[in-house]
Amino acid sequence: TVARLRPFASTIFAEMTALAATHDAVNLGQGFPDTDGPARMLEVAREAIASGLNQYPPGPGMPVLREAIARDRAGRYGTEYDPDSEILVTVGATEALSAAMLGLVESGDEVLLVEPYYDSYAAAVALAGAQRRTVPLVVDGDRFALDVDALRSAVGPRTRMIVVNSPHNPTGTVFTASELAAIAEVACEHDLLVLTDEVYERLLFDDAVHTPIATLPGMAERTITVSSAAKTFNATGWKTGWACGPAPLIAAVKAAKQFMTFVGGAPFQPAVAHALDHESAWVDALRTGLQAKRDTLSAALAHAGLDVKRSEGTYFVCADIAPLGESDADSFCRALPERIGVVAVPVDAFVDHREGWDTLVRFAFCKQDHVLADAASRLARLSA
């Protein structure tokens, strides 16, 4: 393995999912749902295969999907993207993120990541030959807040891009209007690009509101917005995502993307287009269901003696294991499958600086109720 990729030899999700299999444990580690997406969406994909949509789709993605993405973002946020030049279909959000860095960041440039960060960001920065610099979230009661002063002081002469992720994996934080405004102000002041990962944009709880940072003043021209069908439509295995932004930025993302995968799977594209156009009620029900699951799992974790943080969106809730007398989330999580038959992910897998994060554990609740009930009874053994 080349030096720049050596730190990224395996992912925490692959490691933990392997542990789940070994110990026949309930897998609350990797975030993927255990039920299918909307029935009609699945049918459209089957029909696409049956009707011969089995060859390369166009490089930027099938027009039917690019048009549906444009309608979706215009309808929900009022943002206008030209389907021909400002939208690119990618192999999941992951490819969009990596291609954006490869296409827009020079080697030696710096990219700011909010810490903890989703694991692919650091690897993508490394692939681009760039350097990452982290800006921490800070605990504010039972919520994680952006450290705006740290963001300001992290910007240097080589800073090229800020990566934003809200709703945030792993903490479940949804950035407030003032946090987003602070990021936008810094980006405009220093003429930075913003790469925003909005894959959990519709998985919001209570009164949380998602505002795409591209809608803030001065941001449309410098923002690449990334999302995906994975989380919105329970289709993580379809690997169908997209990037939206101004034509010159999308052209740069496409320049990289075309030599990574060229195109993504054709039959999924009309199916996702259908879902974006017609499955809002299904997504609303998903959201309501996930909120109840969040409550179930949060209660089980609190019952087991953990200090549970507030999840405002995503699939995830974080909890502190310090009240159990534990001091190291990494070894706690590695032992947990054998100890009680539950898999979870240590939040320090998503940080460069462990301090303050070393007793925090992320649990995924995107699982059927009987699975969560099983997990709850296993977790109860922690305090027994």
Nearest distance from C-beta of residue 230 to ligand GLN, angstroms: 8
Nearest distance from C-beta of residue 344 to ligand PMP, angstroms: 15
Burial of 107 (0-12, 13-18, 19+ CB in 10 A): exposed
Residue 83 CB coordination number (10 Å): 18
Contact string 79-118 vs ligand PMP (x = CB under 6 A): -------------xxx-----------------------x
For residues 225 and 164, the answer to whether their CB atoms sit within 8 Å is no
Report the residue number, 261 or 280, with the smaller CB distance to ligand PMP: 261
Closest by Cα among 242, 112, 125, 208 to 165: 112
Contact string 185-204 vs ligand PMP (x = CB under 6 A): ------------x-x-----
Partnered with residue 88 across adjacent β-strands are: 243
Report the residue number, 91 or 182, with the smaller CB distance to ligand GLN: 91
Q: Which does 93 bind (CB under 5 to 8 A by kind): ligand GLN, ligand PMP, none?
A: ligand PMP
Peptide bond into 246 cis (omega under 30): no
Residue nearest to ligand GLN (CB): 31
Under rule CB under 6 A, which residues in 17-36 are in contact with ligand GLN? Answer: 30-31
Query: Is residue 241 involved in binding ligand GLN (CB under 6 A)?
Result: no
Report the residue number, 30 or 227, with the smaller CB distance to ligand GLN: 30
Query: Rounded distance, CA 197 to CA 93, Å?
Result: 8
Closest by Cα among 89, 197, 108, 220 to 158: 108
Query: Is residue 11 involved in binding ligand GLN (CB under 6 A)?
Result: yes
Query: Is residue 8 involved in binding ligand GLN (CB under 6 A)?
Result: no
Report the residue number, 89 or 349, with the smaller CB distance to ligand GLN: 349
Report the residue number, 73 or 378, with the smaller CB distance to ligand PMP: 73
Nearest distance from C-beta of residue 292 to ligand PMP, angstroms: 21
Q: Tell me the window of 210-218, 236-244, 272-280, 362-370 that interacts with ligand PMP (CB under 6 A).
A: 236-244
Please report which helix (H) or strand (E) contains residue 104, including its range: helix 92-104
Under rule CB under 6 A, which residues in 28-87 are in contact with ligand PMP? Answer: 31
Query: Rounded distance, CA 57 to CA 12, Å?
Result: 33
Query: Is residue 313 involved in binding ligand GLN (CB under 6 A)?
Result: no
214: left (phi over 0), alpha (psi -120 to 50) or beta: alpha
For residues 159 and 192, the answer to whether their CB atoms sit within 8 Å is yes
Residue from the set 27, 79, 98, 169 that interacts with ligand GLN by CB under 6 A:
169
Nearest distance from C-beta of residue 380 to ligand PMP, angstroms: 28
Query: Rounded distance, CA 174 to CA 168, Å?
Result: 6
Please report which helix (H) or strand (E) contains residue 28, including its range: none
- Tokens of residue 30, six digits: 């990797």
Please report which helix (H) or strand (E) contains residue 318, including its range: strand 316-320
Query: Is residue 169 involved in binding ligand PMP (CB under 6 A)?
Result: yes
Q: Which does 11 bind (CB under 5 to 8 A by kind): ligand GLN, ligand PMP, none?
A: ligand GLN
For residues 226 and 245, the answer to whether their CB atoms sit within 8 Å is no
Q: Which does 266 bind (CB under 5 to 8 A by kind): ligand GLN, ligand PMP, none?
A: none
Query: Rounded distance, CA 62 to CA 272, Å?
Result: 11
Interaction site with ligand PMP (CB under 6 A) = 31, 92-94, 118, 165, 169, 197, 199, 228, 230, 236, 239, 241
